[in-house]
Amino acid sequence: MRLGKEQAVGYVEDTGYEEGTGRVEGTGRVEGTMADSPPVREPAIGAADGMPPAAADEPSLTVS
């Protein structure tokens, strides 16, 4: 399983806002904000355990 292609970078504050369900608006898909950077390799889930930094552009999902 892979995280897929990079779509954007950004910064967001933790406003502490939560709806009644405990789910915060913004599910990780922000509309119309594709990154203006060239595509990079997809991060792989669980693929980079023990890899050196030079190869860690395909990191594990389970980091931290």
Partner 1 sequence: MTRLSPWSSGPAKGEHPDRPFTGYKLAHAVLSADGATAGFAGLTLGATNVYGTVGDACCVWNRRHAPPRRWCGCGFYCLHDLADARSLACATENRSALLLEVTASGRYIRYERGLRYSRQRVRAILDAQCACGRAGPALADAGSGLIGWRHLAPVCDACTAGRPALTLGEFTARLDGTVRVTTQPAGTPLAPSARKTPGARDLPVSAGEPPLAVLAAEIALLHARLDDLQSRLDK
| Residues 8 and 38: beta-carbon distance below 8 Å | no
39 interacts with partner 1 by CB under 8 A: no
| Residues 57 and 41: beta-carbon distance below 8 Å | yes
Rg (CA), the chain: 15
20 interacts with partner 1 by CB under 8 A: no
In angstroms, what is the minimal distance from the CB of 38 to partner 1? 10
In angstroms, what is the minimal distance from the CB of 54 to partner 1? 8
Half-sphere exposure of residue 15: CA atoms within 13 angstroms, side-chain side: 9
Chain residues in the site for partner 1 (CB under 8 A): 1-15, 17-18, 22-30, 33, 35-37, 40, 42-43, 45-46, 48-53, 56-64
